[in-house]
Amino acid sequence: MSVTINVHQVGRLIDKVRGHIGNEYIEVLHGIRLDVDASHLHAVASDRYTIAAARYELNDTERNREAFARTIPAAWLKPLREWLDAQAGNLTVTIGTETGRLVFATPATEMRVPVTDNVEYPDWRALLRGVAAEIPTIYAFPAVDARMLARWADTDDTLRVRVTSDLRAFMVFGEDFVGAQMPKKFTGVGPDMDATFEQALGLWPSIFADNNQDAADMADMPAEEKPRYEAAPTVPDMVETLLQQTLRSTSDLLGAPSKDHGAMASFAIAGVNAWSAYRFLNALHTADPRLAAKVVADLGEELDAGDFSENAWDIAEKAGHDPQAWHDDYAEHLKKLADKRAAEQPAA
């Protein structure tokens, strides 16, 4: 099973979708899927929230070969891209499979990328059909400049989008932000600027031509498998986590046995700390959303590294405190509690 394509086109396929790769906590999505059907080589990537598919049309001699699909692991994308950059762009590269490998070969050299042969990648065609099925074909379908879309990232906000008609600006709204962007007048999809959504779907017949094919919902994509105590990666996620922890701790506190003072104290402290963290984060986000986002991201990395307790000790010392005395006092407190419980136990 193999197809041929020039080196430059392979690089373009990778570059078009690599920004949509899922993180390491969704193993099946942590890479780029190469998918060959009867007419095209596709590069596909998804992070659960977005999905992108780029394609390269096979020449007549390559068509109708046996279909195959393999996922290039994210860790191998950088060395693969560097290998491609080292080749002349017009060189022909053959992409083929062997057991546990995806093989990229030019007339002079080759690169073997380890892959899992039978990975169950989400049915990206069905997912796109599921999204398209929710959009009326008469829906306004303006063309936009992808480079201009990136400008909205600096709003540090969740934006809502309202599209009016094909040749008019669309509007964006955030909590403290409003804007608009004009469409781009070009014939990149469809036969002309009046191309409809239905005509655009027709350019991808292998996905959208058969209305009887299965459709899937992107809400059912694989979930992240994060370490249990990892911090949320964004401010909204962190807010949700802290509020959940506050409510859960309160519920645990109310349900704890009245004589289990240790458990009650732990639940109370957890709830107070979660609520305090929420209040501080909310205030920081109001004052400086960009700084709040950076703090949350940095916190996630620190918790993932696992050395935050050692850092807290060092910070306490530098602030003029005595963490050893804290440790000794707490140890003595625990000893007194243990002695008290032992004395309250009835004699055997």
List, for residues 60-107, the tens digit of each pLDDT value.
Answer: 777 777 889 999 999 999 999 999 999 998 999 999 999 999 999 999
Share of the chain above pLDDT 70, in %: 93
Q: What residues does 102 pair with on adjacent strands?
A: 97, 113
Q: pLDDT tens across 200-257, in order?
A: 888 888 888 776 778 898 888 888 776 655 667 788 888 888 898 899 888 888 887 7
- The per-residue pLDDT for 330 is 84
- The residue with greater pLDDT, 32 or 330, is 32
SS3 content of the chain, % helix, strand, coil (to 5): 45, 20, 35
Least confident range from 154-163, 244-253, 291-300: namely 154-163
Task: Residue count of the chain, please give it.
Answer: 348
In angstroms, what CA-CA distances link 299 with 3, 24, 302, 305, 318?
A: 45, 18, 5, 10, 20
Work out the average pLDDT over 289-299: 86
- Domain regions of the chain by residue span: 2-124, 139-188, 235-344
- The per-residue pLDDT for 236 is 84
Residue whose tokens read 């600096």: 154
Whether residue 188 is predicted with pLDDT greater than 60 in this model: the reply is: no
Confidence of residue 195 (pLDDT cuts 50, 70, 90): low
What letter does residue 137 receive in the DSSP assignment? T
Q: How many CB atoms lie within 10 A of CB 74?
A: 18
- The per-residue pLDDT for 156 is 65
Least confident range from 50-59, 124-133, 153-162, 281-290: namely 153-162
- The per-residue pLDDT for 189 is 52
- The per-residue pLDDT for 191 is 46
- The per-residue pLDDT for 227 is 61
Q: pLDDT tens across 161-187, in order?
A: 888 887 788 898 887 788 998 887 755
3-state secondary structure of 104: strand
Confidence of residue 263 (pLDDT cuts 50, 70, 90): confident
Question: What is the pLDDT of the chain when averaged over all its residues?
Answer: 85
Note the CATH architecture for domain 2-124. Answer: Roll (3.10)
